[in-house]
Amino acid sequence: MQVNSLEIEHPWDTLTVTYQSELTNSDVTFRLKNSHVTYLQLTAGTVSLAFCADLMEQNQGFAIDARIYPLNDSESTSGLLCGGADDFICASGLQSISSLARCDHVIDCHDFSDETECGGNHFRGNMKNNQKDINSLPF
């Protein structure tokens, strides 16, 4: 799935993409807050979208422009993600984000890998994902 654009009304609102694989019968959740996520590579399964916002919706809530492309069997099992030349591929191999979003103190990868191995005192700031302090999470 290629995410061309995503606009969310407020920074605290979240569009959650939940994917359930037919092969492993497991769920993976991606929380999208901006257009930094460029691709999600998902094999056969079910995808659902849920928008979480406060009660003060002033505009449209969210708008997403996405394209879904079928993968052949070799592509879906190879682990190769269809990211752009400037994209960062998350450690899981299921997601890619804009390279500009790497090490920016905002978690974009569902596995937090865009904020790891950033060097120096990267984790000394207040890093949060979904209102949870991630400074103490194991990486």
pTM score over 0.75: no
Kindly state whether residue 44 falls inside one of the protein's structural domains.
yes
Kindly state whether residue 90 falls inside one of the protein's structural domains.
yes
Kindly state whether residue 138 falls inside one of the protein's structural domains.
no
Total tally of structural domains belonging to the chain: 1
CA atoms of 2 and 55, how far apart (whole Å)? 30
Residue 84's pLDDT is what? Answer: 67
Kindly state whether residue 98 falls inside one of the protein's structural domains.
yes
Tell me what the mean pLDDT of segment 99-111 comes to: 88
Kindly state whether residue 61 falls inside one of the protein's structural domains.
yes
Residue with tokens 């998902």: 42
Q: Residue 12 sits in which domain range?
A: 2-133
Q: Is the pLDDT of residue 77 over 60?
A: no
CA atoms of 22 and 44, how far apart (whole Å)? 6
Give how far Cα 129 sits from Cα of 56, 105, 111, Å.
Answer: 22, 10, 11
Supply the mean pLDDT for the chain: 73
Residue 131's pLDDT is what? Answer: 46
Kindly state whether residue 139 falls inside one of the protein's structural domains.
no
Residue in 90, 89, 98, 92 with CA at minimum distance from that of residue 38: 98
CA atoms of 95 and 54, how far apart (whole Å)? 27
Q: Is the pLDDT of residue 20 over 70?
A: yes
Residue in 54, 56, 48, 8 with CA at minimum distance from that of residue 32: 8
